[in-house]
Every structure is written in structure tokens, then in C-alpha cells.
Amino acid sequence: MLATAITKLLNIDYPIIQGGMAWVARAGLAAAVSQAGGLGVIGAGNMPAAELREEVLRAKGLTDRPLGVNVMLMSPHAEAVLQTVVDLGVPVVTTGAGNPGPYVQTLKQHGVKLLPVVSSVALGKRLARLGADALIAEGWEAGGHIGDISTLALVPQLVDAVEIPVIAAGGIADARGVVAALALGAAGVQMGTRFICSSECTVHEAYKQAVVRAADRDAVVTGYTTGHPVRSLRNRFTRQLGELEAGGASLKALSEFGAGRLAQAARDGDITYGSVMAGQSAGLVRRIMPVQEIIEEIITGVRSLTRHLEGQLCQN
């Protein structure tokens, strides 16, 4: 156990939430994270409700610990997916890419905890007022769709602005990042990139190896000109997209050029022309490990690092 407001809220052992990455976070990964004491989260992405239903049932077959589902609110299936979540008694929903406001009452009625991902203080305050149970404060250094404030700057400002627990996301991949997040006032962390490189993650092996090989400056941003920036590993796709943007391509042309690229990388293993979404913590991820070892390594590290800091800083 490592108790915080988040472990109590979600009834889990460790305040580690696995990012609900579309095309990447499937039942096997989510179940392994929950089984190891964190919160595993299935990424619904653009899945139809029937497919999400199968994933949830498969995960429930692998663990009886609490699970979550990430609902991408811009998906055409969002409402049906949320109904499935409620029907199957999934206890936690994380949301991104939209406003979860319309679903708050239904989720509350069924006792589902709502943890929206937010990237600014203003949005966090609004969703706290709407009834969110906790907020996932995601910094610019995260993978996938990103906001414009770094985790280090965002977390303490959000902690000061709301009464509910805040979870830090973006740039965290090891015990050092977890202790840093707790020091900033977070009650837990969400990690995505680190869990891509787990044995249980079913993403294509080439994708995992690309993350392992990545150095500090390899997780770059495209799409600033579209207003929907995305972080992924530098490759021919990001270079071509960057050239299109610099050349003033229309939103429609950029959107068409990027369509299907995440699946191309995650499912098919095309790490040259696919979108290998990953955060800047990729440079900290050096090998593929079983989920339980990742979590044990982090929790052991959190304890020894915290004792070390206390010993170093409070002796005199």
C-alpha cells in the first residue's frame, strides 16, 4: 500500500493510473496494471460499444480489481460506450477530447468515478464544479494530444485552484517522476509511455522498440497550426506533416494526411509512416518489462527516494 486520496477514491493499492491510450491500452494491459495494484484503463478510442464491451469482459476475466475505461468524447460512439461502461459496472471513467458535462449525472447515479483529463486551470475548475471526482492534469510533455502547460507548472497551480484530488500526467516514467508529482501536491500519477513498453501491451513490437530507442529530443509536436497539437516520435510521417504545415496546408488536407496513422504504427508496426505517439519520458524508458515489475520497481523506488530526501534535507 501507498495511500493517498486517489488510492482511497479508487480503492487501489498504489496511486498509479495507466493512460487509456487508443489502439494501445487493451484489456491485457489494463488487467495487468489493476492486478499489480494500480488502475488499468482500457482506451476506447473510436471503438464501437460492442468492441469495448468485449474488451471490458476480457479484462474482467483476468482480474477482479477495479478497472477504468478512457472515453474519447469526440468519438461517434462516446454515448454508447459510456452506457456500456455503466451496464458492465466499470467503476472509473477517464475522459479526453471533449466536455464530459452531459454525462456527469448518469455516471454519478451509477457510482462511476469521473476523472477528466485537463490541460489548464480554467478547464479543471469548470469540471470540478460540474462534479468530477478527481482531475488528471496532463502536461505538454505527454504523448498524443497535448495542451500547452508543462506538468511541473500545471500541477501545483491546479492543486491550488480545486478541492478535489489532482493526478499528474506527462513526463513521468519512474520513481523520481512519481515523487516529484507527489511533491507538487498530486495525489497520484498517470503514466502512458512507460506502460507501452510492458510485456502485456499488445501494441506492435516495432512500436515498443521505437520508444525504447528514443532519446530526449525525439518526441516532437506536430499540428500546432491546426489547434490540435499531437506529440509522437520523430519519423518520416512527422517530417512530412511538418512540411505540409509549414507550406500552409488546409486543416482538411492535414486531417486527411494524418488519418489512420496511429493504427498504422500501433497495429501494423509501421514506425516510419505511422504516428508513434509517445511522451518526452520516452528517453527514460530503456527496456520492456512485465507490468508487475514496472510497478514494483517504482513503488520500491518511491519509498527509498523519499527516505533519502528526508535524510538529506531534514538532518540539520
Q: Provide the binding-site residues for a second copy, judged by CB under 8 A.
A: 1-4, 120-122, 139-141, 148-154, 156-157, 160, 170-172, 174, 176-177, 179-185, 215-217, 220, 224, 279-281, 283-284, 302-303, 305-307, 309-310, 312-314, 316
Q: How far is the CB of 170 from a second copy (least distance, A)?
A: 7
Nearer to a second copy, 177 or 192 (CB): 177
Nearer to a second copy, 139 or 192 (CB): 139
Residue pair 188/38 in contact (Cβ under 8 Å)? The answer is no
Q: Is 310 exposed, middle or buried (0-12, 13-18, 19+ CB in 10 A)?
A: exposed
Nearer to a second copy, 85 or 254 (CB): 254
C-alpha span between 224 and 194 (Å, rounded): 25
Considering only the C-alpha atoms of the chain, give the largest distance between any 2 of them, rounded to a whole number of Å.
Answer: 62
Residue pair 241/256 in contact (Cβ under 8 Å)? The answer is no
Q: How far is the CB of 157 from a second copy (least distance, A)?
A: 5
C-alpha span between 276 and 206 (Å, rounded): 10
**DSSP assignment string, 247-314:** TT--HHHHHHHHTTHHHHHHTT--TTTS--B--GGGGG--S-B-HHHHHHHHHHHHHHHHHHHHHHHS
Q: How far is the CB of 158 from a second copy (least distance, A)?
A: 8
Nearer to a second copy, 84 or 193 (CB): 193
Q: How far is the CB of 18 from a second copy (least distance, A)?
A: 19
Nearer to a second copy, 50 or 309 (CB): 309
Q: How far is the CB of 68 from a second copy (least distance, A)?
A: 23
Question: Residue 55: what residue type?
Answer: E
Residue pair 55/27 in contact (Cβ under 8 Å)? The answer is yes
Q: How far is the CB of 8 from a second copy (least distance, A)?
A: 12
Residue pair 160/184 in contact (Cβ under 8 Å)? The answer is no
The torsion angle over the Cα atoms of residues 39, 56, 278 and 253, rounded to 10 degrees, is -140
Nearer to a second copy, 53 or 234 (CB): 234
